[in-house]
Structure 1
Amino acid sequence: MASENPRFGYTRIRDVLGNLGYEIARNTVKRILVERGLEPAPERSKRAPWKTFLRAHWGAIAAADFFSVEVMTWFGLVRYQVFFVMDLKTRRVEIAGVTHDAHGRWMVQVGRNLTDAVDGFLRDRRFLILDRDPLYTAEFRALLRHSGVKIVRLPRRSPNLNAFVERFVLSIRTECLNCFIPLGEGHLRWALAEYLAHYHRERNHQGLGGRLIEPSPATGRKRGRVVGRSRLGGLLRHYEREAA
C-alpha cells in the first residue's frame, strides 16, 4: 500500500487498514515500513516511481528524440539528423524535422510547428519528455512552456526512461534505414514517409495488444481475397483482404 501510494503517511495507512477490518497501531505501521526500507511519506512522494508519473498523465505525454542517417549526396556521405515526436498512449509518431545542419534557430521553428494551435502535434499535450541534448536550447524549451507544454528532462545516460522512443528508433533502423543508403535528402524524406505510413496503418504493435495504430475499415474483414502489399521495394510488407 505504501509503495502504491507514496503520499500515504503512517496514520493514513493505519486508517485505511481500519476500513478493511485490520486494527493496527500507527507505530506498528511505521516499524513495518522501516523494516522494509520504505521512507516516510514526504520522502517517498519525492521519489515517486517513473511509471507512476507515466500512468498519472498517460494521455497527455509525448516524447521526442533524434536519430542520425548517413545520406549519399554529390559531396559524399552526409550525416542527417531526424527529429521525431511520439504520443506515448497511441504510439503515433511525427517526423518533426530533417536536416544536416541542426541548430538553435531551426529547433525553435520546429517547436513553433509542433505547438501550432490548429494542427501542431503537441497542441493537446501537457508534457514532453526530452533527454539532455544541447539542441534543446533554453529558447526552444521556453517556447514549449509558453505554449502549455511542460518539459520533463531526463537524467544523463538514462535511455531506459525513454524506452518507447528508443524502441521506435530500433524499429525504423532494423526494418528500414539499415537496409539501404538514401540517395539525397528527398530520397530520405520519401523513405521516412513510407515507413511512417507502414508503421501507423500496416504494422501490428505488441505494446498495443497487437493492434494497428490506424486500422482501415477493412481491418478484421473475413471475406475477400488476401493480397500482399509492399513498400520501399519490398522491404516493408503487409497483407489485407480485397473488397468483395
Structure 2
Amino acid sequence: MAGLARCGARQGMRAPSLLVSLRLIYLVFCRIASPSPRHPSHGPSLASAAGRPPRIPPTPVRRNHTTWRRFLRTQASTMLACDFFHVDCALTLKRLYVFFVLEVGSRYVHILGVTTNPDGPWTAQQARNLLMDLGERADQFRFLIRDRAGQFTDTIDSVLTDAGVTVCKIPPQSPRANAYAERFVGTVRSEATDRMLIFGQRHLRRTLDGYARHYNRRRPHRALQLQPPRSDRPVVDLTHERIKRRPVLGGLITEYERAA
C-alpha cells in the first residue's frame, strides 16, 4: 500500500510538470511565429488566434431582397402559370400532351389543347387562343411562369410580350418553382385521368373539359376559403336546405347542390 501511494504521489508530481513544459513550448513557438512588437496591420498574433475561436460575421439580413416565394405571393393576382402534362391512351398506346394555363390568383384553369406533337408553332397558337379567350381581362396579367421545355420557343414569348405579359423562366430541373401548375397536374391526375382509361384524343378532351367545369365552378379550394374560382351557384345554408348529390365523370367526382 505504501508503494502504491508513493507511485501515485510520483505520478501526481509529474502531471503538473508536464503541463508546464507543454505551456512553455507553446509560448516559445508563438514567440517565434509572431515576433514582438507587432504592428496593428499585421493582424492578431498566433497566440491570440489560437486562444479564441474565429469570429465569422453572420449573413446580413437584406430587407429589400425579394425571394421567389414572396414574388409569387405578392404578384399572384397578376400572374399566369402554364405547363404540360401527358396521358397515355389505353387502346392506341399513344402519349397525349395537355397544355394548360392557370390563373394563380383565382385558381381558374384553362385547358388550351391536347395533341400528340406539342411543337413550337402549336404552342404559340394556343397562346394566341388564350389571349383571345381572356379578352379585356388580358390587361390585368403581367407575368407568366413557365419552364424551359423545348415547346416554349421565342415565338410564344414574343406573342405574350406583345400583349404586355412578361415571361419568367424557372431554373432548370426545379419544378417546385412552378408550384401552382405542378399542383394542378397532381390534382387532375389523382381525381380524373389516373382513375379512368382514356381511349383517344377526343375522349381525353371531353374528359378534361368536364373536369375543368367542375374545377372552376364547383370544386372548393383551400386557398379561396373553400370556394370555387368562379361559382355558378349561390352559397347554400346547410341547416335549412336539402342537398342533392350529382355524379360527375361517371361517378369519379361527386357534386352536391340544393334540391329543388
TM-score by length of structure 1 reads: 0.76
User: Structure 2: 5+ residue runs without aligned partners?
Assistant: 1-55
Q: Which whole-Å CA distance do the structure 1 matches of 2:223 and 2:134 have between them?
A: 29
Q: Which consecutive residues of structure 1, in runs of 5 or more, have no partner in the other structure?
A: 1-33
Cα-to-partner distance string for 1:183-235 (whole Å, 9 max, x where unaligned): 12111111001111111122111122222222233322343321111111100
Identity %: 35
Amino acid at match of 1:107: T
AA at the equivalent of 1:37 = T
Whether contact under 8 Å (1:113, 1:120) holds in the other structure is no
Matching residue of 2:233: 217
Go from structure 1 to structure 2 and tell me whether the alpha carbon gap of 1:192 and 1:60 turns closer, same or farther (over 3 Å shift).
Answer: same
Q: What is aligned with 2:84? A: 66
* 2:87–2:97 CA contact under 8 A, matched in 1: yes
Q: Distance in 2 between matches of 1:144 and 1:216?
A: 30
**Aligned position for 1:82:** 98
1:171 aligns with 2:171: no
Written as runs of structure 1 = structure 2, the 5 A alignment for 1:201-212 is: 201-212=217-228
Specify which of 130, 142, 146 is matched with residue 162 of structure 2. Answer: 146
1:34-70 Cα offsets, whole Å, 9 max, x none, are: 944126x6xx75x520122223322110100000011
Q: Aligned letter for 1:108?
A: A
2:110 is the counterpart of 1:94? yes
Give, in angstroms, the shift of residue 120 of structure 1.
Answer: 7.8
User: Does the 8 A contact of 2:138 with 2:163 survive in 1?
Assistant: no
Larger gyration radius, structure 1 or structure 2: 2
**Quick check: 87-96 or 196-205, which moved more?**
196-205
Aligned twin of 1:57: 75
Q: For residues 164 and 198 of structure 2, what CA distance do their matches in structure 1 show?
A: 37
Q: The residue matched to 2:140 in structure 1 has which SS?
A: coil
Distance across 2 between alignment mates of 1:121 and 1:105? 24
Aligned to 2:249: 232
Q: Deviations over 1:163-187 (max 9, x none)?
A: 1111111010011000112112111
CA distance in 2, matches of 1:196, 1:207: 18
Distance in 2 (alpha carbons) for counterparts of 1:207 and 1:242: 28
SS in 2 for 1:77: coil
Q: Judging changes above 3 Å, is the alpha-carbon distance between structure 1 residues 215 and 118 closer, same or farther for their aligned structure 2 residues?
A: closer
Q: Which amino acid aligns with 1:192?
A: L
CA contact (8 A) 2:245 2:257 kept: yes
Q: Counterpart of 1:231 in structure 2: which amino acid?
A: V
Question: 1:160 corresponds to which residue?
Answer: 176
Separation in structure 2 between the aligned mates of residue 180 and residue 139 of structure 1, nearest angstrom: 35
Are the counterparts in 2 of residues 62 and 122 from structure 1 also a CA contact under 8 Å?
A: no
Is the CA contact (8 Å cut-off) linking 2:80 and 2:145 kept in structure 1?
A: yes
- Higher-helix-fraction structure: 2
SS at match of 1:173: helix
- Cα distance 1:120–1:193, how it changes in 2: closer, same or farther (>3 A)? farther
CA distance 1:117–1:174, change in 2 (3 Å): closer
CA–CA distance in 2 between the matches of 1:221 and 1:210? Answer: 14
Classify 1:181/1:121 alpha carbon distance in 2 versus 1 (closer, same or farther; 3 Å).
Answer: farther
Partner of 1:241: 258
The total of aligned residue pairs comes to 204
The answer to whether the Cα contact below 8 Å between 1:201 and 1:216 also exists between their aligned partners in 2 is yes
